[in-house]
Structure 1
Amino acid sequence: MNIIRWSFANGIRRTRWLSISSPIHRDLNNPLLFHPSQSPLPSNNRPLPYNLRALSDKTSSSIHDDVKPEPTQTVSQEQQTEEEKKTNHDIKDDQTRVLQAALEHVPTLGWTEAAMVAGAREVDLSPSIVGAFPRKEAALVEYFMDDCLQRLLGEIESREEELSNLVFHDRIAKIIRIRLEMQVPYISKWPQALSIQANPLNLPTSFKQRAVLVDEIWHAAGDRSTDLDWYAKRTLLGGIYAATELYMLTDYSPEFRNTWIFLDRRVSDAVDCRKTAQEAAQLATAIGAGIGNTVQAFLRRQTQ
């Protein structure tokens, strides 16, 4: 009896085992199980297929493919150069606006950093832009000199008929007068400008600007000679201009009348070639102080 019960229980256990193991056996032999594209992922109560790792890698790859990093944008050297040029142009344009506006404050504040700061505020720029000027006060004076030269050329062009009707020495005196009259609004502060120009760091630019001015005056007067007297003429005219400029600082006559008389006499005497060397030496001595010391040495070398 016990043997019969054991055999019956054993048969029931075998039947249950076969009912569970048979689906697994069939699934393991099913080729679709090894193709993730055709077979769903197994549930928790089924064994993991061998090809599940491949399925996981493919799924991960597709996810990463959807989220790709944006390609980095590379800027060519030409584009960088163009951007730098544009930036530099904008900076120079802002600096020019500051200097132009600062000239309005020079009669009260002088050729100073304070005038430049006031100019920056006037054109709605930060006063910190003044720090971009390596030689602040000198930059303001040099801008004024360049601006006056451009204005002088415009006046010469607009008065061409008037100037052509004058004799040679009167034409030169008239052009110098037009230029010096541009300094009248700043005459009380002009000694400060001369002192800034006389600074050793600023002398090269100062002499260059004055040399260009003298050359333009000679050309406007009609002199086109290229002989050996070219340097002597410009040296002499530079001395006349500097002497008249200094005389103007101490002239309190109405509308600088005595200054223009002084200028006419110096030009008339200089036109006489027999007095050229003597006149140049006298003018160099008259300049005397500040920037004149360097001019004197220059004129002495030219007249030896």
Structure 2
Amino acid sequence: MAHHLEEERRRILAAALPNVAFDGWTAKTLTAAVEAAGFEPAMAVRAFPGGVREMIGFFIAEADREMVEALEARDLPSMKIRDRIRTAVQVRLEQNAPWREAIRRALAHEMAPQNAPAALRRLHRTVDAMWYAAGDRAADFNYYTKRMLLAGVYSSTLLYWLNDRSEGSAATWRFLDRRIDDVMKIQTVKGRLGGRLDRIGGLVRRPRRPGAVIGAWARRGDA
């Protein structure tokens, strides 16, 4: 039963996406998509009880699922960590290229104050999926640090990509490289400074610094 509902939701979403660019994520779009998918009007509430906001959430969740499937087909284990993350962000944006305007409108919807908590949860799930696909199984404080840093890189790159009209999104990939490089440089400096502080204040045991993991990649040469 749940599997059937999932398929029905996918059919409705597929019917809605071409129209979102023109009509936005609205109740009208949802109603029209239900009809276009061949369902009775009542299916709108059955498939998406939360209305348009739930349909946007399903759209993002589907993008997460498709991204993970695409990354599983790549030889990520053979890559350095830095390249795994770059690949994850690039795959995510490339797979959504046909729905650029739908994503722009979804972001506008998510930026409304009442939608912000759900939007942050969705962002966390997206970057969590990226890290998981990249082979990260951290369960300590670094779990949060890594996702916080990647959320900043992914969000800024997404916004840049939405307005990028360069061939093959070449400008976006250069922007992504710069963002990753910037984060690594900052964390490397913090890591070196932290190392000196550890030697000076060795009597005090401190938890690992936020973001130190990316600095560790750079110091080990894994990046």
State TM-score, norm by structure 1.
0.55
Q: Distance in 1 between matches of 2:168 and 2:93?
A: 12
SS where residue 113 of structure 2 aligns?
coil
Percent of aligned positions with the same letter in both sequences? 31
Unpaired segments ≥5 residues, structure 2: 192-209, 212-223
Match of 1:119 in 2: 33
Whether the 8 Å contact between 2:26 and 2:52 is mirrored in structure 1 is: yes
Aligned residues: 191
Map Cα deviations across residues 202-243 of structure 1 (whole Å, 9 max, x no partner): 333222221122122122223333443332221111011111
Match of 1:239 in 2: 152
Aligned equivalent of 1:149, options 64, 68, 91: 64
Per-residue deviation, 1:178:
0.4
Whether 1:270 and 2:183 are equivalent positions in the alignment is yes
Aligned equivalent of 2:96, options 183, 186, 203: 183
| Larger Cα-atom Rg | 1
Per-residue deviation, 1:93:
5.8
Map Cα deviations across residues 189-210 of structure 1 (whole Å, 9 max, x no partner): 4332112112333333222221
Q: Distance in 2 between matches of 1:170 and 1:241?
A: 14
Match of 1:60 in 2: none
Q: Distance in 1 between matches of 2:96 and 2:189?
A: 29
Q: Distance in 1 between matches of 2:190 and 2:141?
A: 14
Could you say which structure has the greater relative contact order, defined with CA pairs below 8 angstroms and 6 or more residues apart? 2
Unpaired segments ≥5 residues, structure 1: 1-85, 278-301
Match of 2:161 in 1: 248
Match of 2:119 in 1: 206
Runs of 4+ more than 6 Å apart: 88-92
Match of 1:167 in 2: 80
Residue identity matched to 1:178: V
Per-residue deviation, 1:113:
2.5
Aligned equivalent of 2:19, options 90, 99, 105: 105
CA RMSD of aligned residues (A): 2.8
Per-residue deviation, 1:249:
1.9
